[in-house]
Structure 1
Amino acid sequence: MKKRFEALDAFRGLCALSVVLYHMHIVGSITELKFFQGSGVFVEFFFILSGFVLAHGYGFKESLNFKSYCKARFFRIYPLHFFMLVVFVAFELMKLLATNFGVSFNGEPFSDKTAVSEIIPNLLLIQSWTPYTEHLSFNFPSWSISIEFYIYFLFFFTVVLFSKFKLLTWLTASLFAFTLIYFHSELLTKQVLSGLSCFFGGAIAYSVYRNISHIKIPYILGSIFEFALLVCIVFIAQAQFELKLIVAPLLFLITVLLFSFEAGVVSKILKIKPLQLTGQLSYSIYMTHAAILFLVATATLVFKKLTGIEIIKTINSLKYIDSGSAYINNLIVLIILATVIITSKFTYKYIELWGLNLNKKSKP
């Protein structure tokens, strides 16, 4: 049975929740902490962890079947992506209907990032791969899923076609993409370059782990390293400097590698049930939160329509919720987080697991 990296699972869940808070804009709440304002960088962590996990599951198999591999990856991510795309198309139809009743939104229905022309790219998950499509269209977090989906196929071919040289292939792909990012190359979209560099970097991190996993890290030393990495992550997330998108992934690579040993007290804490639950729900949390935030924004418009009270204000071109009370604003944050988690439990059970079971049933 393959080892499950429980500490990394919880890490992924916490990063997903941090991304949710990053996308919230609520005055006087924890969302204004510099750490959460910089938590968008954790998408790079997802890419790295995906590369690590895929290398663990498939990278060193003696025989890898293309059909079964593709089906497994497809049914793992596409059902929820498709469901959320349908939800966002439904939102646009709702906006279209609402305009007939005098309710106006910030943007016209099916325009700009939700234009009808963006539906097909989203269905094909190519929205992040070309400069001619809007990578943040409809369910905007799916931009990273667009990249991962096709990297899965690239990864398969590196394992099968370059079996004896796959480590060199992964290293070359990662370093080449990092180099292009550093020189601001437009050879590929910056989103794709980020995905390639981090994903294949994660695969290399797993190969390193595979070769040194026999090493026993003393508990005290492991705890010191884990705490030190957490401090570095907090610092990097809230820092602003030119090479952040280079330094942060390197830090995440070290983090994934060290926490794969689960050697310290932080790893022990990450294994508690509530944090393991966030890891289990991480994909759903990531994919559903934009819809919840859309509904919250819609609720503020309805509230204004009914009461005449404006609780939305524009700060630095961003829309912020402000009830006038810091306590209420933080309560709103907690309610939104709870709603995202409850919704994610539903989508995990009825969509993610359904997709996984569908893949199992379709096997010969």
Structure 2
Amino acid sequence: MTQTAFLNPSHAVVSTHAGTIAGERFQVLDSWRGICALLVAVFHFPTASAISQSGFTGSSYLFVDFFFVLSGFVIAGSYANRLSQPAQVARFALVRFGRIYPLHLLMLAAFAGFELLRLLLPALHGTGAALFTEGFDLKSLLANLLLLQGVGFEDRLTWNAPSWSISTEFFAYLLFAGVVFVAGARAWIWFVAAAVTAPLFLLGFSTHHMDVSYDFGFIRCLYGFSLGALLAWFQHDSIAGARQILARSGPRANWTLAEIVMIAVIVVFVSLAGDNDFGIAAPLVFALALFLFAHEGGWISAVLRAPFMLTLGALSYSICMVHLFVQARMINLAGLVERELGFDLVGDIVLRDQPATGFGTGWAGTTAIAMLVATIAVSGITWRLVEIPAMTWFRRLSKHM
């Protein structure tokens, strides 16, 4: 985006979906976020199947970095020219808090409620570690309530483990607002600095390559977020102009080929880079993919604008937040069925060289489909009953500040 556009409040647009810049809805990026959310859910689903054990699935944790890049792209495009006054910064912080915290609080309550349920139902006593231990302790509960679980206060993933990413995003929002408020048109210099130093930090200090969360999760988030912000800062005009031309001409063969190649690059990269330092380049790969698909120029983009795909995009945050709870309860239920009916459903497996409790190969396909269906169904409920009302209420509240 040009410097003038960022400094002119008349062009400001508040985004409620995966991406809008200067009033444009990036539908394909909506759909991509839904796809990435489902891939993260499959990554966490413990089975002994070949799919779960594959290099691609085993490295699909990298798709979290797509969220970070997209978040920076959206936030910079929607808010970077609206943060020149303290009241604007306060409204921004309140709206972003309202976007992520209500569902986070609900799922935290759901996990805590299940721990209490284990006290009451003897049949559940054997479904995990001792009550309120190993990541489900009260100290970690407080850290999660304060959104500190992903910024270095914990020594492991705790409670609703995927929520580490929204912890880091929230503080990235605040840092973004502070930098833009102070530096104004020169804020991009700080984003360049973050985009350069963060991967160097991870190369130097991470012992798990890009697979950092509770420890260096904020550095990881800041890396992708800054790249996305820079993409919005400098490429808005070119994207907007190209989109207008492509909208008149319809999907083009050259853009379709580029989209197919980009998908192939992503699949190969994720399959090969998840367990080594090449994975630290994930935000760069996803920034390139975001730039390409933001143009919505090919037939792949046309497919991604289908209603079902857009629905997945709308549900993406709920998918990220509810899927681990859904998966855990599926394993609990399967264990109860196994004990009552004698079916061989769950047991001790080795998942990516780590011991886990999950579904064997005989039931892996069926349970994986059931997990995805259940996750999408629950996400639809939380989106409608939690996300939408919360966003509406916090936006209304922000207008009175």
TM-score bin, normalised by smaller chain: over 0.9
Question: C-alpha displacement at 1:129, in angstroms?
Answer: 1.2
Cα 1:307/1:300, change in 2 over 3 Å:
same
Cα 1:290/1:196, change in 2 over 3 Å:
same
| Equivalent residue letter for 2:321 | M
Q: Separation in 1 of the partners of 2:314 and 2:83?
A: 28
Question: C-alpha displacement at 1:201, in angstroms?
Answer: 1.0
Count of residue correspondences = 358
Question: C-alpha displacement at 1:62, in angstroms?
Answer: 6.9
Q: Separation in 2 of the partners of 1:282 and 1:102?
A: 30
1:353 matched to 2:374: no
Q: What residue number does 1:340 align with?
A: 375
Q: What residue number does 1:256 align with?
A: 290
Alignment of 1:167-206 (within 5 A): 167-184=188-205, 189-206=215-232
1:90 matched to 2:113: yes
Cα 1:75/1:253, change in 2 over 3 Å:
same
Contact 2:151 2:216 in 1 (8 A): no
Contact 2:26 2:294 in 1 (8 A): yes
1:236 matched to 2:269: yes
Q: What residue number does 1:104 align with?
A: 126
Q: What residue number does 2:18 align with?
A: none
1:306 matched to 2:327: no
TM-score (ref. length: structure 2): 0.84
Q: What residue number does 2:306 align with?
A: 272
Which runs of 5 or more residues in structure 1 are unaligned?
none
Q: What residue number does 2:99 align with?
A: 76
Contact 2:72 2:227 in 1 (8 A): yes
Q: Separation in 1 of the partners of 2:124 and 2:34?
A: 40
Q: Separation in 2 of the partners of 1:57 and 1:158?
A: 15
Structure 1 counterpart of 2:256, from 213, 220, 223: 223
Question: C-alpha displacement at 1:179, in angstroms?
Answer: 1.4
Question: C-alpha displacement at 1:135, in angstroms?
Answer: 4.9
| Equivalent residue letter for 1:12 | R
1:155 matched to 2:176: yes
1:42 matched to 2:63: yes
Q: What residue number does 2:359 align with?
A: 321
Contact 2:140 2:154 in 1 (8 A): yes
Q: What residue number does 1:117 align with?
A: 139
Question: C-alpha displacement at 1:35, in angstroms?
Answer: 2.1
1:15 matched to 2:36: yes
Deviations 1:106-141 (A, max 9, x none): 3111001101111110000001112x4145200011
SS at 1:114 equivalent: coil
Q: Separation in 1 of the partners of 2:103 and 2:159?
A: 14
Cα 1:29/1:338, change in 2 over 3 Å:
farther
SS at 2:358 equivalent: strand
| Equivalent residue letter for 2:253 | I
Question: C-alpha displacement at 1:63, in angstroms?
Answer: 4.2
Structure 1 counterpart of 2:154, from 116, 120, 133: 133
Q: What residue number does 1:247 align with?
A: 281
Question: C-alpha displacement at 1:349, in angstroms?
Answer: 0.3
Contact 2:65 2:221 in 1 (8 A): yes
Q: Separation in 1 of the partners of 2:370 and 2:67?
A: 25
Q: Separation in 1 of the partners of 2:260 and 2:193?
A: 31
Q: Separation in 2 of the partners of 1:207 and 1:102?
A: 52
Q: Separation in 2 of the partners of 1:127 and 1:293?
A: 21
Q: Separation in 2 of the partners of 1:264 and 1:308?
A: 51
Question: C-alpha displacement at 1:191, in angstroms?
Answer: 1.3
Contact 1:158 1:170 in 2 (8 A): no
Q: Separation in 1 of the partners of 2:155 and 2:305?
A: 38
SS at 1:113 equivalent: coil
Q: Separation in 1 of the partners of 2:344 and 2:198?
A: 46
Deviations 1:33-69 (A, max 9, x none): 4322221110111111100110111023374502211
Mean Cα displacement is larger for which, 161-170 or 243-252? Answer: 243-252
Q: Separation in 2 of the partners of 1:198 and 1:135?
A: 22
Question: C-alpha displacement at 1:176, in angstroms?
Answer: 1.4
Contact 1:36 1:238 in 2 (8 A): yes
SS at 2:161 equivalent: coil
Contact 1:127 1:146 in 2 (8 A): yes
Deviations 1:142-164 (A, max 9, x none): 01011001110000011110102
Q: Separation in 2 of the partners of 1:236 and 1:39?
A: 10
| Equivalent residue letter for 1:38 | S
Contact 1:82 1:123 in 2 (8 A): yes
SS at 1:156 equivalent: helix
TM-score (ref. length: structure 1): 0.92
Contact 2:259 2:300 in 1 (8 A): yes
Q: Separation in 2 of the partners of 1:302 and 1:271?
A: 41
Q: What residue number does 1:165 align with?
A: 186
Cα 1:88/1:223, change in 2 over 3 Å:
same
